[in-house]
Amino acid sequence: MRNLLLFLLLCLFHLASAQEFFILRGFVYNEDNQGLPGVFIRVQNTGEGVSSDEQGRYELRLQEGLNRIVYSYLGYESQSLDIVMDEDKVQNIWLQPSVNQIEEIAVRNKRKDYSYEVMQNVIDHKDSFAPKYNTLKYQIYIKSKEDLIYLSKKEEELQEESLLDKKDSIPKMNLYEAEITYHYSPPNKFKEEKSAAKALGSQYSLFYKSTTEGDFDIFDNLIVVRSLSDNSFVSPISNTAFVSYKFKLLGSYYDGTHKVYRIKVIPRKLGNALFKGEIEVYDEIWAIKSIQLEFPKRALIKYDEFSLKQEYGFVEDHYMLLNREFDWELKTGDQINDGHCIVRMNNFVFDSTYSKRFFGAELGRVAVDAYEKETTYWDSIRPEPLTSEEQAFIRYQDSVLSYMNSEEYLDSIDSLYNKITIPKLLWIGQGHINRDKKTQWDFAPAINLLEPLAIGGWRISYFARYYKKFENRQHLSIAPFLNYGFRNQDLKGNLFLGYMYDPIHLGIVNVRVGRYFDFVNNFATISDIFRRQNFYVQNYMSFLHVREMFNGFYFRTTAEIIDREDLSDFEFAPIGDSLFENNRPISFENNRTVEFGVGIEYTPKQLYIMEPNEKIVLGSKYPTFNLYYKQAFRNIFGSTNKYSYLDLSMRQLFNVGVFGTSEYLISVGKFFDTTSLQIMDYKYMRGGDPYLFTPAMYTYQMIKQTFPAFDWFFESHYVHQFNGFIGSKIPGMRQLEIKTMGGGGFLYVPERKYQYSELFFGVNRIFRIGREHLRLGLYYVVAQSNTFGVRNSLKVSFEFYNQDKNTWSF
């Protein structure tokens, strides 16, 4: 077993060999010239392989010479090809449907159920319903709401009493309405212009407040909705639908003179990527009339249940989506959020003329007065009247909003917030707000004063913050901090000043000045980071400026002056001697650093929505590139240090269809000048911690201690979350909603003649704690290095979900 693992690892290291490689790239199509996502392209003579992306695109790095390439896809005949690689080449492939896997299934089921013939006709004719226009413009009305249901007996009793005592009781709900003009240019260019919006109640779990939250086009082979799930879902009318789904004819009826079939959609396997529901199909023309689909519960991240309904029809002989509805349920403690959203399309205009730059990275724009529309405006645009409960809720919220904007209410709120109380002084923190001047002061509570486990024993600290917001969303923040140690009778502290001067281009200026402790090595492992030798004292003043110069391109400049002192004369608490052996502080001569830095970050074709005075970044399908250069100069303001360092990196998170999501990080760096370089300015390679699986994008699990690199180094990390692609097919794992993850990393430091690589694979499960989501994982790690041979270990991980970015912490 040990030799087998070593052999597998060595396959990963062939990148470092001197053999020449070339790139083979291309597309994999079906018989209708449509790109096939998820095709597995394998190199038969090495066993390596990749999967095609959502457009059917693939890219392989091949050794020089003869290579046999095998293209495999479920429901299609495999195809092999011998290619001699002596240069970079392009090779497109057309796969043919497998008679054994698709036609036999269809023929076998046709004898039993006419639904298969209906669905085959739908699949055969779906290209005939592709857009026949160059551009499209139409109006969208969105109403997303949640009814709040409380399960506790006490709340139920209160509701019953309220209904008995007050007939016009206010419903408990959250509500969002919007009017959008939607522009579309096939196949994938679009832009929304939001002219009106109303948000009442909590907006946390309301779905589809913007068309950018998801594209539910069942005519695509795969449906990807990042705001709902990490998975890609197989459409029930995809080219391989018969491999993934079973169908059953529920009956038929007439819509006017047209016969309509009702087809039940049943997943062949209980997985994370298949729907269940119902499809209605027009006879003879084989157009879909409506769909009702339920998302698999185990694939959802935020919601407990989620379903979709869409209705189609013809407008001026164009086949169009006319209505869309969502239903969801979210349980949090004793509360259920029962959600429903309607999306109505109308006023279709075909083949309008647009400027060349109209469709681009800006996917949405919100009018300046969108959130200020009057009640009469909403009454005029709603396609259907509000329910009595919704009307009562809006009247109540409008009256509350009117009162909350009154001087009387604002003064009372300010008075309540500013009132000095014992709980605020002790536990919560005292504040003072002035709404007229848009300023706020916050003061730390007494519970934060004492630090019993600080450096040198007991210390006392205090901090405060001043914040001012301007009309144009610019804001200023000032935060002083003081810290005093009893054992050494030393006073330390700092002052932070931050100014957001350009909210649209994320332009910020930060200044910090102070005297405080710092780490020698910020990337030390847990076993080393709190040792005395990892601390020193610094007097510093730093400056940071960041601004987006053009879309996706951020420019950063830094400057700092640092005076460093060791802690050789510092008196430490005895507890540190019992925790660590040989726990002595590091010793070095006092020194000063004057450092300047410049960096750029670029994400090509970064997508965004423009709100009034604010830009909301949505991401990109391209990698993010980073370059940062810093240099310390000697004899400037008494500086004693001199060095220069360059770092380049590339990072991307992307979807691999039903197979899951992948993320990688590649970076290289080098010190070009180390004339006078202090230990705290080293570039460290972060190792792992015993039994704890550390963030795989930044650390190496089986390197026991961090170490510095001064010359060129190459660092890479890769993680793939299968998102149930494997676990949903294994009994037990499917019921427990356990998912799988795998990945690896490679580190090469030529100056040390050091190479390290690792592979890891394991399982994880998502737990909900209130509204937070925790992913608990157990992973097996095996690593190989030319210095220690082979190591392996079991490790656990804990990571939280970022609701704002729809991503995990790693």
Per residue in 290-325, pLDDT (tens digit) is: 999 999 988 888 899 999 999 999 999 899 999 999
The reported pTM is: 0.74
The dihedral formed by the CA atoms of 653, 659, 660 and 665, expressed in degrees to the nearest 10? -30
Given a cut of 70, whether residue 400 has pLDDT beyond it is no
Given a cut of 60, whether residue 111 has pLDDT beyond it is no
Measured N-to-C along each axis, helices 388-404 and 407-418 cross at an angle, to the nearest 10 degrees, of 70
Share of the chain above pLDDT 90, in %: 50
Is the sign of the CA dihedral 309, 315, 320, 324 positive or negative? Answer: negative
Enumerate residues 6+ apart whose C-beta is below 8 A from 530.
579, 580
For residue 586, give both structure tokens.
């590091």
**Residue 44 confidence (pLDDT):** 79
Q: 177 vs 48, which has greater pLDDT?
A: 177
Given a cut of 70, whether residue 415 has pLDDT beyond it is yes
Given a cut of 70, whether residue 338 has pLDDT beyond it is yes
Given a cut of 90, whether residue 761 has pLDDT beyond it is yes
Given a cut of 50, whether residue 17 has pLDDT beyond it is no
Enumerate residues 6+ apart whose C-beta is below 8 A from 741.
719, 720, 721, 722, 761, 762, 763, 764, 777, 779
Interval 615-638: pLDDT, tens:
889 889 999 999 999 999 999 999
**Residue 6 confidence (pLDDT):** 43
Instruction: Give the confidence band of 433 by pLDDT, cuts at 50, 70, 90.
Output: confident
Highest mean pLDDT among 165-174, 206-215, 392-401: 206-215
Instruction: Give the confidence band of 168 by pLDDT, cuts at 50, 70, 90.
Output: very low
What is the average pLDDT across 538-552?
97
Instruction: Give the confidence band of 164 by pLDDT, cuts at 50, 70, 90.
Output: very low
Interval 578-605: pLDDT, tens:
777 788 899 999 999 999 999 999 999 9
CA distance 473 to 478: 16
Q: Name residue, tokens 């060999």.
A: 17
**Residue 645 confidence (pLDDT):** 98
**Residue 2 confidence (pLDDT):** 46
Instruction: Give the confidence band of 287 by pLDDT, cuts at 50, 70, 90.
Output: very high
**Do residues 37 and 53 touch, judged by C-beta distance below 8 A?**
yes
- Closest of 776, 781, 732, 734 to residue 761, by C-alpha: 781
Interval 116-149: pLDDT, tens:
999 999 999 998 998 999 999 999 999 999 988 8
**Do residues 78 and 71 touch, judged by C-beta distance below 8 A?**
yes
CA distance 805 to 810: 12
Instruction: Give the confidence band of 173 by pLDDT, cuts at 50, 70, 90.
Output: confident
Q: 251 vs 734, which has greater pLDDT?
A: 251
**Residue 219 confidence (pLDDT):** 92
Q: 403 vs 1, which has greater pLDDT?
A: 403
Interval 495-517: pLDDT, tens:
999 999 998 898 999 999 999 99
Is the sign of the CA dihedral 481, 485, 488, 489 positive or negative? Answer: positive
Given a cut of 90, whether residue 780 has pLDDT beyond it is yes
**Do residues 265 and 247 touch, judged by C-beta distance below 8 A?**
yes
What is the average pLDDT across 376-382?
89
CA distance 654 to 662: 5
Q: 389 vs 541, which has greater pLDDT?
A: 541
For residue 600, give both structure tokens.
């750029």
The dihedral formed by the CA atoms of 352, 356, 362 and 368, expressed in degrees to the nearest 10? -60
**Residue 112 confidence (pLDDT):** 56
Given a cut of 90, whether residue 679 has pLDDT beyond it is yes
Q: What share of the chain is helix, strand, coil (3-state, %, to 5)?
A: 15, 50, 35
pLDDT, averaged across the chain = 86
Enumerate residues 6+ apart whose C-beta is below 8 A from 457.
485, 486, 487, 572, 573, 575
Bond into 131 cis (ω within 30): no
CA distance 548 to 362: 15
**Based on the number of CB atoms within 10 Å of its own CB, is 728 exposed (0-12), middle (13-18) or buried (19 or more)?**
buried
Given a cut of 80, whether residue 810 has pLDDT beyond it is no
Residue 236 CA: distances (Å) to CA of 120, 277, 293, 363: 11, 10, 9, 28
Given a cut of 60, whether residue 209 has pLDDT beyond it is yes
Q: How many CA atoms, within 13 angstroms, populate the side-chain half-sphere of residue 701?
A: 31
First to last CA, the chain: 30
Q: Report the residue count for the chain.
A: 810
Q: Name residue, tokens 């450092």.
A: 595
Instruction: Give the confidence band of 462 by pLDDT, cuts at 50, 70, 90.
Output: very high
Interval 682-707: pLDDT, tens:
999 998 888 999 999 989 999 988 99
Q: Name residue, tokens 């110069």.
A: 549
CA distance 258 to 251: 14
DSSP 8-state secondary structure symbol assigned to residue 274: B
**Residue 11 confidence (pLDDT):** 44
Backbone angles phi, psi at 401, to 5 degrees: -65, -40
Enumerate residues 6+ apart whose C-beta is below 8 A from 153.
none
Rg (CA), the chain: 31
The alpha carbon of residue 375 and the mean position of all alpha carbons in its chain are separated, in whole angstroms, by 36
CA distance 543 to 512: 7
Residue 714 CA: distances (Å) to CA of 232, 317, 668, 784: 33, 58, 5, 16
Burial 265-286 (b: 16+ CB within 10 A, else e): bebeeebbbbbbbbbbbbeeeb
What is the average pLDDT across 59-79?
82
Long-range contacts for 641-644 (Cβ within 8 Å, ≥24 apart)? 641/591, 641/592, 641/593, 641/594, 641/676, 641/677, 641/678, 641/681, 642/673, 642/675, 642/676, 642/677, 643/671, 643/673, 643/674, 643/675, 643/676, 643/677, 643/681, 644/671, 644/672, 644/673
Q: 745 vs 200, which has greater pLDDT?
A: 745
